[in-house]
Structure 1
Amino acid sequence: MRVFVRDYLLPWVFIIVFWLVLWFIIPPVREHLNAMNIFAIFLLLIPFLLVALHFVGKTLERYGYSREDIKRLSEIIEKTHGRLYLPKEVFNIVGDALIFWGLFAWVLLATGDPIMGLLSGVAMFAEIFAFFVLLISMFIWVIIFPHSLYRLFTGREPSRDFLIEVPIKQNLIYTAILVAVRLIALHSGYPSGDDFVGELMAFGRKTELVSLLLELSGLNFLFGITGLYGPRKSRKLTALALTVIVILQLWVAWRIVFG
């Protein structure tokens, strides 16, 4: 248990303490700190941890464990620490959940209104996740594309796990968020403004930007499908097709970033 407590549990606790100290230091947030709000933000921690445990369970399954093994997570981490990448993945999943919780709670405290704070937090993350379509493309350029070309030119097929998980599954999730933001912005009477909800509405009403992100999403999906099924016909043509798709992605991304 010593390794688990020292290298995992204590850093997670430190993240929570860090947020608490930060909230007490920053005046706009400190003004809204009271017993009710503190109770609310720690209550909010529960769903974030539940989501983290869900992904920890999926990670355990990838390493041959079952979801029920979460109950002995500390024991598994003790045994695999320094030998497998599993402990680092678990650490990052929980750590990321605590960071996102802190950001969400910050928004809630900054508004001083629990309902508006909740809406603002949702709006903030919705806008971030809508832009993850671009992040998926960047991941393709840096990781998946070179890896796929290498495998194609060495007589193998690209990694199905990579292609299914990132350009297809995750891309579709973030695209769904983008479409939802667009529809809400178009049919909502909430005005564009400097607050998080107003910024989300302004983002969703930018037709050109949303269209470019949707184009990028389509190219991400096309990359995944081409990488999955193209090698069955021709590896060389698949490599060429993937290269063309990446060039088109770069062109769309350039237009998004630089107009």
Structure 2
Amino acid sequence: MKKGTGYLLNSLLISFLPWPVLWLISFFYFGGDNAEISKFSFTWLLSALASFIMVLAVLVFNLARLIERFGYSKGDVARLHLILGENFENVNLLKTVRESIHYHFTFWGIYATASLVYGSVKSTLFVISIVIGVILLSVVMLPVFVFLIEIPVLLYFTSNGELDKVRGLFTWAIEVSIASLALLGFLRFIALHGAIPPEYLGVSELRNLLQLAGDSTVFMDLFLLSFLGILSGITGYLGAKRSKLPVVVLFAIGILSIFTDVHLLGLLLY
């Protein structure tokens, strides 16, 4: 059990400590010459603490969902250290828990750092823009996902009659693609009809997203990729044992997404 507690604490500290260390080094070595880094204040500290508590709550919720995949209930997250100790030979569980902790604290650290430099509103827009960009990039990577992950997984697990074990993968593809569609619609509306204060457009990541959504051709390519992502997820989720049709459909989706990506890349480069 001590192994589980040690592993959990190690994961938390490795993910958390680099951020305050980075801020302290930046303040002591560069604060005097950099007005932005010198903005350490009680208000910023409260903002960082509040965002830390929120991220910690989300982390606990996601860890509760994560251990469900390994046969535990959400309530068992309260004894996560014991679960890790009982399953210390389960490399997949240990790796997944550590990665989840790392991603959540990285998100918090980026937000708190951006808040220090840009202020609370701009930093929120910055982080939201980064998250949206990652989601849109995920659908752009659809050909890779289809040919290197979905089709091999479908062929292997349907041949063994174990498709239920990987349905979560296809559910994830559906969820990300639906999120992409919703975000594209929102960005499109803001780009065409919204009135954003000029000072917030100084966040280049947000400005670039609005420019992409405002371009009708780029928007349609991203919309099509998102739709194909939903279709690929549904196809894999409903894939039947010994049926070749889902593989054929996924192959067709992969080919169409390649052509769409090439067209989109041409628009962005020229």
Number of aligned residue pairs: give it: 256
Deviation at 1:100, TM superposition (A): 0.9
- Alignment pair present for 1:44 and 2:62: no
Amino acid in structure 1 at the alignment position of 2:9: L
Do 1:148 and 1:157's aligned partners in 2 also have CA atoms closer than 8 Å?
A: no
State the match for 1:212 in structure 2.
Answer: 221
State the match for 1:16 in structure 2.
Answer: 16
Instruction: Please point out which of 97, 103, 125 is paired with 1:96.
Output: 103
State the match for 1:241 in structure 2.
Answer: 249
State the match for 2:172 in structure 1.
Answer: 166
Gaps of 5+ in 2: none
Deviation at 1:87, TM superposition (A): 2.6
Give SS of 1:82's match.
coil
Do 2:126 and 2:203's aligned partners in 1 also have CA atoms closer than 8 Å?
A: no
Do 1:49 and 1:94's aligned partners in 2 also have CA atoms closer than 8 Å?
A: no
More moved, 198-207 vs 44-53:
198-207
TM-score by length of 2: 0.81
Identity %: 25
Amino acid in structure 2 at the alignment position of 1:248: L
Instruction: Please point out which of 192, 198, 204 is paired with 2:207.
Output: 198
Deviation at 1:137, TM superposition (A): 4.8
1:72-221 alignment, distance < 5 Å: 72-83=79-90, 85-111=92-118, 113-135=119-141, 137-151=143-157, 154=159, 161-162=167-168, 164-190=170-196, 193=202, 195-221=204-230
Q: 1:84 to 1:18 in 2, by over 3 A?
A: closer
CA RMSD after TM alignment: 2.7
Amino acid in structure 2 at the alignment position of 1:6: G
Do 2:173 and 2:233's aligned partners in 1 also have CA atoms closer than 8 Å?
A: yes
Deviation at 1:98, TM superposition (A): 0.3
Deviation at 1:79, TM superposition (A): 1.2
Q: 1:55 to 1:155 in 2, by over 3 A?
A: closer
More moved, 97-106 vs 23-32:
23-32
Q: 1:239 to 1:188 in 2, by over 3 A?
A: same
Q: 1:31 to 1:167 in 2, by over 3 A?
A: same
State the match for 1:67 in structure 2.
Answer: 74
Q: RCO (CA 8 Å, sep 6+): is it higher in 1 or 2?
A: 2
Q: C-alpha offsets along residues 126-163 of structure 1, whole Å, 9 cap, x if unaligned?
A: 333333322455333321122223456x4858556146
Q: Distance in 2 between matches of 1:195 and 1:117?
A: 12
Q: 1:216 to 1:92 in 2, by over 3 A?
A: same
Do 1:185 and 1:204's aligned partners in 2 also have CA atoms closer than 8 Å?
A: yes
Do 1:119 and 1:197's aligned partners in 2 also have CA atoms closer than 8 Å?
A: yes
Instruction: Please point out which of 248, 255, 262 is paired with 1:254.
Output: 262
Q: Distance in 1 between matches of 2:206 and 2:133?
A: 9
TM-score by length of 1: 0.84
Q: Distance in 2 between matches of 1:162 and 1:257?
A: 30
Deviation at 1:175, TM superposition (A): 2.5
Q: C-alpha offsets along residues 186-229 of structure 1, whole Å, 9 cap, x if unaligned?
A: 22222555534333332332332222111111111222333344
Deviation at 1:120, TM superposition (A): 2.9
Gaps of 5+ in 1: none
Q: Distance in 2 between matches of 1:176 and 1:77?
A: 37
Deviation at 1:48, TM superposition (A): 1.3
Give SS of 1:85's match.
helix
Do 1:45 and 1:101's aligned partners in 2 also have CA atoms closer than 8 Å?
A: yes
